[in-house]
Amino acid sequence: MLVSLKSSIERTIGRKVPDENCEIFSNYLFEKTFDKKDILIEAGSVCKYIYFIKEGSCYAHLEDEKGETHAIQFGIDGYWISDLYSFFSGRKGIYTIEALEPTKVLFLHKDNFEKACNEMPIFDRYFRILIQNAFVSLQYRLAKTISETAENRYTEFSTLHPDFIQRIPQYLIASYLGIKPQSLSRTRKEITQRK
Amino acid sequence: MLVSLKSSIERTIGRKVPDENCEIFSNYLFEKTFDKKDILIEAGSVCKYIYFIKEGSCYAHLEDEKGETHAIQFGIDGYWISDLYSFFSGRKGIYTIEALEPTKVLFLHKDNFEKACNEMPIFDRYFRILIQNAFVSLQYRLAKTISETAENRYTEFSTLHPDFIQRIPQYLIASYLGIKPQSLSRTRKEITQRK
DNA sequence: CGTCTATTTGAATGTACTCAAAAGCGGTGG
DNA sequence: CCACCGCTTTTGAGTACATTCAAATAGACG
């Protein structure tokens, strides 16, 4: 199994994964390569896969009535990304996921996801904890979004995710923070001028 | 077992719960009564319980550096509420949960939560789906928070949760939406004047 | 009825937005 | 290798929306 995936599992569940489980799980995963700007998941279609990013990066975004898009989540190598609303509910998705760089993923079909969870409790536990963690950090992010200024949100984001700052264009970070690129530019100027 | 809890489980997992599972799970739950304004969970302490609200309502909030509080989540009878960050991580909590009305809850200790999940796959599944759903709606709420105006967020909130509008003071709804009570008052005036 | 809390209203301020344009940067083809 | 093109970031000026501070009104509860 892919080293980064194995270490994600072991880090998450806090112990080693038996080789036979790795073996079986590996057989459920298939590889796919995307170019920059390719669409992994399209809003409006049912999302049947979750993607583990092996190399590269991508982001989930949402289009509003005015036709503006809003970045909801970023994913880089070592992370899973998907439209979990659609994946879990089986309804049409609302998020589009797009590659930011040339990206290699391992994708897991919903059927195999369920098989893995039913056959091997270790994967049940893995995905459960992953989503628990995702919930907790999302709640924290929402709390900050409603309580902090854009400047503080940017500062926190850049200390929490310095790697994202390097690889993700600024206008998408602005979108993720809920502000316009022009505003983020001004905010950044403010910050550097104060130093 | 409490009817509203049993129906929550059956609605969530999509099938009946065997009586013996109900029996065991019921033994893990204990009842507690709170008055209005009582604190169920205090920020700064480790949260060892999740609470199923039998009667009444409560809300989770967060205090920022300026000493202002922000409503993060509401819970009414039939819903679970907790500081999941603290509950899952075992670290000190950041949210305070307070009763909005005289409230009766069933509380489940973390040890019993884990026992239930380990002994009975049906509860594993129940809590897993609960948190999946919570994640999905939280992500949607965040998407709306960064992409919509305060007015649209209020309108959507009031159509999505008409019951909350009835029972929860307006200044807390404002806080939940990320605006000040004065602003929500003006926004509401705007809306009614347009009709 | 009186007190406490919540909601509404007013006026001035501030923060982020819009529209618009210039500057910067990266990749491509001549 | 450099000129050009497209895309991102920055800057400017005016505007819109939410905030602050302050006070008045309305409601809830003993």
DSSP one-letter string for B122-172: HHHHHHHHHHHHHHHHHHHHHHHHHHS-HHHHHHHHHHH-HHHHHHS-HHH
Amino acid B161: pLDDT? 95
Q: Residue A185: pLDDT above 80?
A: yes
How many Å apart are A181 CA and C20 C1'? Answer: 15
Residue nearest to nucleotide C17 (CA to C1'): A180
DSSP B59-113: EEEEE-TTS-EEEEEEEETT-EE--HHHHHH-SBP--EEEESSSEEEEEEEHHHH
* pLDDT tens-digit map of A9-43: 999 999 999 999 999 999 999 999 999 999 999 99
Task: State which nucleotides on strand C lie below 7 Å from a protein beta carbon.
Answer: 6-11, 15-20
Which sequence spans correspond to the domains of chain B? 3-147, 148-195
pLDDT of residue B195 exceeding 80, the answer is no
CB B184 within 7 Å, strand C: yes
Could you say which nucleotides of strand D lie within 7 A of any protein CB atom?
8-13, 17-22
Answer yes or no: are the C-beta atoms of A54 and A2 closer than 8 Å: yes
Interval A137-143 mean pLDDT? 95
Nearest Cβ partner for B72 among A73, A133, A143: A143
Mean pLDDT of all residues in chain A? 94
Where does the pLDDT of residue A67 fall: very low under 50, low under 70, confident under 90, or very high at 90 and above? confident
**Does pLDDT of A65 surpass 90?**
no
Architecture of domain B3-147: Sandwich (2.60)
* B140 close contact with A: CB closer than 8 A: yes
Amino acid at B157: F
The pLDDT > 70 percentage for chain B reads: 100
Contact A142 B143 (CB under 8 A): no
pLDDT score at B130:
94
- How far apart CA A37 and CA A131 sit, in angstroms, is 27
Task: Estimate in Å the CA B149 to C1' D17 gap, whole number.
Answer: 9
Inter-chain touch A70–B135, beta carbons under 8 Å: no
Tens of pLDDT, residue by residue over A84-133, are 999 999 999 999 999 999 999 999 999 999 999 989 988 988 998 999 99
Does the pLDDT at position A195 exceed 80? no
Superfamily of domain A3-138: Jelly Rolls (2.60.120.10)
Say whether residue B143 is in contact with chain A using an 8 A CB cutoff: yes
- B178 vs A: CB within 8 A: yes
Cβ–Cβ contact B131 with A under 8 A: yes
Task: Please report the pLDDT score of residue A175 as a whole number.
Answer: 97
pLDDT single digits (tens) B62-93: 998 888 999 999 999 999 999 999 999 999 99
